[in-house]
Amino acid sequence: MVKRTIGGVERDYLLIAYKGGDKLYVPTEQIGVIRQYVGGEAPTLHRMGGSDFARAKSRVRSAVREVAQELVLLYQRRVSAKGHAFPPDTPWQDEMESAFPFVETPDQLTAIASIKEDMERDVPMDRLVCGDVGFGKTEVAVRAAFKAIQDGMQVAVLVPTTLLATQHGNTFSERFAGYPIKVEVLSRFLTAKEAKKVIAGLKSGEIDCVIGTHRLLQESVEFKNLGLLVVDEEQRFGVQHKEAMKRMKENVDVLSMSATPIPRTLEMSLVGIRDLSLLQTPPAERQPILTYVGEQSEQVAIEAIRRELLREGQVFWVHNRVQTIEERAAELREWVPEARVAVAHGQMDETQLEQIVLDFWEGQYDVLVCTTIIESGIDMPTVNTLVVERADLLGLGQMHQLRGRVGRSGQRAYAYLFHPRDKVLSEDAFERLRTIGETTELGSGFKIAMRDLEIRGAGNLLGEAQSGHIAAVGYDLYCQMVTEAVSEMKGERTEEVTEIKVDISVDAHLPDDYVPSEDLRLEAYRRLATVRTEQELSDIENEWRDRFGPLPTPTQSLIAVGALRVECIRIGITEIVTNGNEARISPVQLRASQTMALRRLAPGATFKEQSGLLVVPIKRGTHPTTVITELLHELFEPADH
């Protein structure tokens, strides 16, 4: 953002650089037409006036239309299908829920209420619950499963890994203990004979609830009366698995769960098409994670591991190079001989990998040296120290999710993010590490990490192919396109937003000493540019007074220009430009009585009916914004319009 003085008037402008060195200065009152690019990688620059971006936009728009069409069709098909309507809660349901050892978060309670409402309708449920690991998704699923079983229906819980199947198996069995409910796990850890027995139990109806990996999707698995399907981390299943899931989903209530957050904007645009519940409140006992960012230090690492061993906890050590991971594990065994160290990475045989992670979960090892595979889905309350090597190579979203793997049990957790001693960090890497190092859980850095993850979330929700389209036009514009396409498919009218140009020769800006942070100034200008009513403008003015103090003269002028824009929206004027001692206003339509009033209110003003142009003289020493606003208000009184 730069300040420029043009024609004796000082203003803030947004400077946009194009390919080939062209520059465009955008006045802050037109900031509403600019969107911040948030995408996967650094975007490619286009030439000013070139057609590359327009082509990319039209490609994305047609792809978005297809997605919207598919979503609307799916929704219509679901609404017309007949499902099973479950009865209201039983006394057992209340009893089981009150035995929950923690206090539910407000988000959890809202999600549970929505799910029960869905289940009690005779339309098949299709709800997605999003929330980070440890924010209570499993308990939500437990209560839905219990409700289905109370009505004599079976429940299938589908998970991507054997370890998750084991974890959920334990949770469900513990919560259902004391009730005549049979819970089984179907995964690779069963012998052929055991698996056969589980499959037979599902067919006969003897098993009420089964938790399994994609083994559950095999054609040999049949249910007596499946009523609820819970899918955990749906995006981690392959295409064939998703096809098999579709067969299972026919007329069955479906509850999907995901740890990748879904953007609020996208949630709003999909209202009535995909039912979403967001779990965003951390549980009360979660403490912020103490984060140390610094040069790699053998001494710090040894102390961190020993401190964790002293309180009988465990350590995740992230080393993201498979070639040298065994060497690092050997060094750790030398440094801390009393620690039992295991290695896990994605290139291992799947069965072996699962066995190691399971052994670690059961406490047979103290330190797990692994690649970033621990990023998603694993719930290990006893792991409260995380060490990450070469943190400078990781994205913010990745670091945020890795850090979220520790501090799950209410214990104080530590995260050590190391960068190499002998390397100068790039500016980007330095910024990422500085951001994640600010331990405030919900600081601005957290929001940036969320944006990174939300892009993945949007891709997961709408199909992986969409990630490329998000990168092409940026996340904000993409979300707007989805909203428009969905409204179009639903036959809703979208309101055309007309751009209003108000170019008045007055000092109207936020001085640097009034709002020192450029980010805050940008955000303030952006909000002012979207104002459409007097009430919204008044809210902004009060907020600025509250946050930054009394309004200096240039800021009062800025609010006055905002008031004039609101007046223009009300009347239908799209352009006001002052030039020397006159203001040109268009398009204007005046009735005979208004033309008479104009002569009285603004002597010397001229009105050209054919072109709809009104030219008003501005006397020296008067404030043009006030003169024009008062004139328009008198000519087009609200009652008149």
> What mean pLDDT do residues 487-491 have?
75
To the nearest 10°, report the CA torsion of 398, 399, 405, 409. -140
Highest mean pLDDT among 174-183, 270-279, 516-525, 610-619: 174-183
Band of pLDDT at residue 261, cut at 50, 70 and 90? low
> What mean pLDDT do residues 524-535 have?
87
pLDDT of residue 225: 92
Spatial separation of the C-alpha atoms in residues 54 and 336, rounded to whole Å: 59
CB neighbours of 609 closer than 8 A, spacing ≥ 6? 590
pLDDT digits (tens, 9 = 90+) for 53-98: 788 888 888 888 887 787 777 777 777 778 889 999 999 999 999 9
How long is the chain?
641
| Position 280 pLDDT exceeds 50 | yes
Q: Inter-axis angle of helices 444-462 and 427-437, to 10 degrees?
A: 100
pLDDT of residue 148: 95
Q: Which amino acid is located at 467 in the chain?
A: S
Whether 292 contacts 417, CB under 8 Å? yes
Which tokens belong to 564?
């004039």
| Position 204 pLDDT exceeds 70 | yes
> What mean pLDDT do residues 1-8 have?
80
pLDDT digits (tens, 9 = 90+) for 301-316: 999 999 999 999 999 9
pLDDT digits (tens, 9 = 90+) for 323-358: 999 999 999 999 999 999 999 987 888 788 888 988
pLDDT of residue 444: 45
Spatial separation of the C-alpha atoms in residues 48 and 261, rounded to whole Å: 35
pLDDT of residue 196: 93
Give strand pairing partners of 158: 212, 231
Whether 548 contacts 51, CB under 8 Å? no
Whether 543 contacts 510, CB under 8 Å? no
> What mean pLDDT do residues 437-452 have?
54
- Classify residue 136 as left (phi > 0), alpha (psi -120 to 50) or beta: left
Domains within the chain, CATH numbers bracketed: 2-52 (2.40.10.170), 290-439 (3.40.50.300), 501-640 (3.90.1150.50)
Whether 201 contacts 134, CB under 8 Å? no
pLDDT of residue 442: 42
Which tokens belong to 12?
């803030």
Within a 10 A sphere around the Cβ of 51, how many other Cβ atoms?
Answer: 10
Element (H, E) at 222: none
> What mean pLDDT do residues 408-427 have?
84
**What's the N-to-C CA distance of the chain in angstroms?**
39
Residue 109, phi then psi, degrees to nearest 5 = -60, -40
> What mean pLDDT do residues 133-145 have?
88
Spatial separation of the C-alpha atoms in residues 623 and 127, rounded to whole Å: 56
pLDDT of residue 267: 58
Mean pLDDT across the chain:
83
| Position 511 pLDDT exceeds 70 | yes
pLDDT of residue 183: 96
pLDDT of residue 180: 93
Band of pLDDT at residue 319, cut at 50, 70 and 90? very high
| Position 167 pLDDT exceeds 70 | yes
Q: Which amino acid is located at 53 in the chain?
A: F
> What mean pLDDT do residues 512-529 have?
85
pLDDT of residue 260: 65
